[in-house]
Amino acid sequence: MHDAVVSATGLFKPPHRISNEELVESFNAYVERFNAEHAEAIGAGQVAALQPSSTEFIEKASGIKNRYVMEKDGVLDPARMYPRIAARPDDQPSVMAEMAAAAALQACERAGIQPSEIDAVYCASANMQRPYPAMACEIQALLGAKGYGFDMNVACSSATFGIEQAVNAVKAGSARCALVVSPEITSAHLEWRDRDCHFIFGDTCTAVLVQRAQDVEGPAWEVLGTRLATQYSNNIRNNFGFMNRCEDSSWTERDKTFRQEGRKVFKEVVPMAAAHIESHLRDLGLAPGDVRRYWLHQANLGMNQFVIRKLIGAEAGSDVAPIILDEWANTASAGSIIAFHAHSADFQPGELGVICSFGAGYSIGSVVLRRR
């Protein structure tokens, strides 16, 4: 058995940003258009009139002020309301693979290694661009990495679940340097025409390198433990997939994009996440107060407020639980890793931190780290 460390992270920022103001303007134009086109049915009570959105509503509901996307014109077009991303020939790199390669190369540079030293690639994401060949295999080829790669999907917990696979592979000796990449094109599976969720998501990709401790000189993060948990729930769901054509259903139907029972999710999964972290720390002989910083899943400010208050009575957005969702929105599995990437450089040797994600499944993953 070998000791495993997180040696570096990388982050890809998409080329476009959408502010709340831009988003509200386009959404309200869509609402006005819809209500005008369906005025007779609305008057007869056959169709419900759509309600406009506002920046105040979005920020109060989520804490989100901005998001980055791969393409914005289609999203902001009231006649379309979803991204316009061109198809690529099979002999060209896919969009997700390009995002992942960019984040991975940044992580390699920060770790001081060559991509060819990677011998395991885990593409851990809420939605894959295609079923096969595995995105991980394409990313491996773009990087010139060795070994093996495979895809995995546990929705918003995919990155932490991927980190456990990487840590276990390095500890067991089946890999010496493992890469976890989480390319998230959430703009493609968000229903931008739904007032309750049109503001939630943003695109990005993160990368995490896990290596044998003996191979890493200088600062790194000792992995004290990982813990995963799942409990089936329908409260966050997306029914898009290859079986749709067999069902004679259309990709435009509402259930083919992200949907959730937000209040139920908050009530059920957030207490589970707090209890999960507390139990994980306790089994490692630690208490919540021993941890300097929590890098939590970045879906909703209220969720993070609940978790951190439950653990130590602090405020999300403080030094102990930094918030990045105001700028990035919910980036699915990448959110907690962005928080770690952006808010970890100031740690001193011996200080502890916890990465925790939670989301659809339900799924919860935690990684306890100590600065080396």
* DSSP structure class, residue 201: B
State the DSSP H helix or E strand holding residue 81, giving kind and residue range, or none if neither.
Answer: none
- Counting Cβ atoms within 10 Å, is residue 186 exposed (0-12), middle (13-18) or buried (19+)? buried
Q: If you count DSSP H runs as helices and E runs as strands, how many of each does the chain have, helices first? A: 10, 13
State the DSSP H helix or E strand holding residue 342, giving kind and residue range, or none if neither.
Answer: helix 335-342
Q: Please state whether beta strands 259-260 and 236-237 pair in parallel, antiparallel, or not at all (unpaired).
A: antiparallel
Q: Are 335 and 201 in contact, with CB atoms under 8 Å apart? A: no
Q: Closest Cα to residue 119, out of 144, 89, 92?
A: 144
Q: Are 211 and 111 in contact, with CB atoms under 8 Å apart? A: yes
Q: Closest Cα to residue 150, out of 133, 172, 127, 167?
A: 133
The CA distance from 287 to 291, in Å, is 7
Burial pattern 328-341, b for ≥16 Cβ within 10 A else e, equals bbbbbbbbbbbbbb
- The single residue of 108, 123, 156, 356 carrying the catalytic annotation is 156
The CA distance from 1 to 9, in Å, is 24
- Per the document, the length of the chain is 372
The CA distance from 186 to 332, in Å, is 7
The CA distance from 217 to 365, in Å, is 28
Distances in Å between the alpha carbon of 197 and those of 57, 83, 126, 201? 11, 16, 17, 8
Q: Is 123 a catalytic residue?
A: no
* DSSP structure class, residue 330: B
The CA distance from 133 to 127, in Å, is 14
Where in the sequence numbering do the catalytic residues fall? 156
